[in-house]
Structure 1
Amino acid sequence: MKEVLDYLKACGTFYLATNEEGQPRVRPFGAVCEFEGKLYITTNNKKAVFAQMKKNPKIEISCMNKGTWLRLEAEAIHDDRREARVAMMEDNKASLSNLYSVDDGIFEVLYLKNATAAIYSFTGDPKVIEF
């Protein structure tokens, strides 16, 4: 999992896909952290993406860095614990503190479950990481 976390952080921006009534929806994300041995992402509970993940937790993340790319399939599981929100905020203070506060009622975190990541290149076989 650490290799996937480091890859996502190195990219800065990654793209998260959800499903809305059979239609794929993709948008940029940028905050990610590790908490209690799990990979976490964050969003705002007023956004459609949060409702989409609550309805169907199956997501896919993709990003590219230095001639390689990552594709990550997982289930996004909502975690409403304050401790998880604090961990996300502390690890991403520069990008999140102007958007959210830990107890603002809209800041949400989700951890990735049953995750399979593959790091691809143009020259070799993909490296598969499950967590």
Structure 2
Amino acid sequence: MDKTYEFLKKSGTYYLATMDGDQPRVRPFGTIHLFDGKLYIQTGKVKDVSKQMHINPKVEICAFMDRKWIRVSATVVEDPRTEAQKSMLDAYPSLQGMYKAGDGNTEVWYLKDATSTISSFTEEPIIEKF
């Protein structure tokens, strides 16, 4: 999980794919955080992405950086604990104008049953499962 976290953190922006019925939806994300030994993302409960993940928690993440790319397939699990939300928001203070831990809107999700592959055209893939 360490290489996955480092790649996503350094890339700054990654793309999260969810399913909306039978239509895939992809959008940029920027939150990636380690908490309690798990890799977390964050969104707002009022957003479509949240509704989609509640219906179908299977997601994929993709990012590109320095002639390498990462693909992560995982199941997301919502963590309702305010301490998990607070930890995320402390790591991303720019979000604190829109989100507050325990506000009823802030959601944090950890990646479960994840397979991450970092690829390039010149090196062997790096695969992590967590």
Is there any run of 5+ residues in structure 2 with no aligned partner, and where?
none
2:88 aligned with 1:101: no
What is the alpha-carbon distance in structure 2 between the residues aligned to residue 33 and residue 60 of structure 1? 16
**2:89 corresponds to 1:85:** no
Task: State how 1:1-131 maps to structure 2 within 5 Å.
Answer: 1-93=1-93, 95-131=94-130
CA offset at residue 40 of structure 1?
Answer: 0.3
Aligned partners of 1:83 and 1:39: how far apart in 2?
15
Cα deviations across residues 7-57 of structure 1 (Å, max 9, x unaligned)?
111010100000111110000000110111000000000011001101100
How many residue pairs end up in the alignment? 130
Measured on the aligned residues, the alpha-carbon RMSD in Å equals 0.9
**Identical amino acids, percent of aligned pairs:** 45
Superposition TM-score, scaled by structure 1 size: 0.96
Residue 98 of structure 1, CA deviation: 2.4
- Stretch of structure 1 that moved more, 71-80 or 97-106: 97-106
Structure 1 residues not aligned, in runs of 5+: none
- 1:126 Cα deviation from its structure 2 partner: 1.2
Q: Contact conserved, 1:31 with 1:42, CA < 8 A, in 2?
A: yes
Residues 82-128 of structure 1 deviation map (CA, whole Å, 9 limit, x = unaligned): 111011011111x3122211132211100000000000001122111
Asked whether the 8 Å contact 1:32–1:92 carries over to 2, the reply is no
SS of equivalent to 2:127: strand
**TM-score scaled by structure 2?**
0.96
Q: Distance in 1 between matches of 2:4 and 2:82?
A: 24
